[in-house]
Structure 1
Amino acid sequence: MALPQHIPGTAECLARNDRMVVLAAVAFVVLLSGLCTVFGAGMDMTAVEMTRMARPIGEPMAMGAGTPWTAGYAMLIFVMWWVMMIAMMTPSAAPVLLLFTAIKKSGSRAGRAPLLSLLFLSGYLLAWAFFSAAATALQWRLETMGLSDGPMMSLSSRTLGGALLLAAGAYQFTPYKHACLSHCRLPVQFLTRHNRTGLAGAVLMGAHHGTFCLGCCWALMLLLFAGGIMNLHWIAGLALFVLAEKTLPWPRFLTAGSGALLLLAGSYVIVTAP
């Protein structure tokens, strides 16, 4: 008499294909946040329209006053920043996320690996929520002082735009930049040194890794103020560079080269300012 075949349940199937589950979740998060960014959900114009109307750094368009700042509008801008950061930064977190999944899969509770990985990703994105809140406050301040073109969300001063390029370029050469980048490029070392257990531990580990990532990339992300916060050319360019900086060989060459280019670009913008 033939023994009945074991039909795996949903939970067992998910546990066996944890890598695919995590990759699918990352792809869904990136796709959804990317679509929200491109179509400017909740904004007066889509990112495509803003990109078409974009001007050189520090050359605002005569479009009248922007939207008055209220608590509701500030929350909308925060969500815009956070969704954009999720779309830009999540792909570069995929390697450490997959390694974290593999480590948890080899533990005593392998079935929880996908859940723990999603909690790790949530903690990582919480770190960028902190950055998004700071960027929103900075944008509010700049517009209040008349230093930002409200409708296009870009700096209205060419000199200030050049100074931002110089600051971002100089930061590429700092020890703090290299220390944070090393943590991002060595996920095995990070996960070994900062291992935590449990659901809360997964969130804290993700937030910890996100803090290193934030320390590595915050100056680059602020360059969106120079090129236009919703300028898709700058969004795509920065996202691809961050991914390259964290995954390709010779990170020192990429970091130093980009820093030198930013310093040259900032000097040119300031020298040619009226």
Structure 2
Amino acid sequence: MAPLGAVRARLPRTAPAPRRPQPRLCLLFELAAVAAWIAVIALTVTGAAVDAAHHHTAPSHAAHAAHAAHAVPGPGVFGGLAIWALMCVAMMLPAALPALAHVGANSLRRRRQRAMAGFAAVYLAVWTGYGALLLALAPLWSRLPGDAVLACALALASGWQLTVHKRRALRDCHRSSPLPLSGLRALAGTGRFGLRHGGACLRSCWALMLVMAVAGGGPGMLGWMAALTGIVTAERFARTPRRSASLAAAALAGAALAVALRPALS
């Protein structure tokens, strides 16, 4: 009788079944965010956005946009909203990727991309509406010293990071929602989820985007965009969002102090 070890040695080895690669559900939206960043950088480097702001056509700064809208109705308003929407795609769409993945994973394959596009449209519409509100309110600060306005906005954002309302909004940003699979109920469910998630994100990040609205154009705008996008994305993907919010509050407070002291140090 052959030893047990020899019998085991003669048994054929079964190759492990190859794993089926999981599709990147959000690839198109990731590419959209990258394209928006490239567009904003191109507009800033070429000076097109800044020139447009001075000519009341496509402002890159909310204050310039509102002043343009006050002086020349029509193109200035729509141009300002277009630039704001582009910035929202670049800055806020990455934070919505987990929610987009939830929509894609819980939708039928034949309507998956349509459902994700519908969610993204509603989500970005919430932020576009906030941009329209900022354009309307911008005359309140457009004539004040830019450094003072930016320092106040940074201080406000820092304080908001530490409030209970911020924590509740962050918690709501991490919540999912059951989605119907087909028919009008699926369309309505996706829209409700986009509205709910966009509202939670707006409650969480409205002060950060206010900083973006008063930060001004030029290369400095890109720096603020990158910093604020990092804060928003870190809060959304962090395992402990509350800690990320506290660290962001400290960074924003330091930035507010630096901006407030800049005129005295220059």
Give the TM-score, by structure 1 length.
0.70
Question: Of the two structures, which has the highest relative contact order with CA contacts closer than 8 Å and spacing of 6 or more?
Answer: 1
Structural mapping, 1:28-177, within 5 Å: 28-40=31-43, 45-46=47-48, 68-105=71-108, 110-143=109-142, 146-147=143-144, 156-177=145-166
Deviation at 1:183, TM superposition (A): 1.8
The count of residues paired between Structure 1 and Structure 2 equals 223
- Alpha carbons of 1:36 and 1:98: their partners in 2 closer, same or farther (altered >3 Å)? same
Deviation at 1:134, TM superposition (A): 1.5
Aligned counterpart for 2:227 among listed residues 237, 247, 250 = 237
Q: Contact 1:38–1:46 at 8 Å: present in 2 too?
A: no
Aligned to 2:206: 218
More deviation, 214-223/24-33: 24-33
Aligned counterpart for 1:207 among listed residues 174, 191, 195 = 195
Give the TM-score, by structure 2 length.
0.72
Q: Does 1:183 align with 2:183?
A: no
Distance 1:96 1:30 in 2: 15
Q: Secondary structure at the match of 2:75?
A: helix
Deviation at 1:176, TM superposition (A): 1.3
Distance 1:48 1:39 in 2: 12
Unaligned stretches of 5+ residues in structure 2: 1-19, 52-66
Q: Contact 1:92–1:243 at 8 Å: present in 2 too?
A: yes
Distance 1:112 1:18 in 2: 18
Q: Secondary structure at the match of 1:78?
A: helix
Distance 1:218 1:80 in 2: 17
Distance 1:261 1:243 in 2: 15
Q: Contact 2:81–2:131 at 8 Å: present in 1 too?
A: yes
- Alpha carbons of 1:99 and 1:88: their partners in 2 closer, same or farther (altered >3 Å)? same
Q: Contact 2:119–2:191 at 8 Å: present in 1 too?
A: yes
Unaligned stretches of 5+ residues in structure 1: 1-15, 50-65, 148-155
Matched to 2:155, the amino acid is: L
- Alpha carbons of 1:101 and 1:70: their partners in 2 closer, same or farther (altered >3 Å)? same
Aligned counterpart for 1:258 among listed residues 232, 248, 254 = 248
Q: Contact 1:180–1:213 at 8 Å: present in 2 too?
A: yes
Aligned counterpart for 1:248 among listed residues 231, 238, 241 = 238
Q: Secondary structure at the match of 1:191?
A: coil
Q: Contact 1:81–1:136 at 8 Å: present in 2 too?
A: no
Distance 1:75 1:18 in 2: 40
Distance 2:199 2:22 in 1: 25
- Alpha carbons of 1:265 and 1:87: their partners in 2 closer, same or farther (altered >3 Å)? closer
Matched to 1:128, the amino acid is: W
Aligned to 1:58: none
Distance 1:18 1:140 in 2: 50
Q: Which structure has the highest helix share of the two?
A: 2
What is the aligned-residue RMSD (CA, Å)? 3.1
More deviation, 71-80/258-267: 258-267
Q: Secondary structure at the match of 1:104?
A: coil
Q: Contact 2:141–2:149 at 8 Å: present in 1 too?
A: no
Aligned to 2:16: none
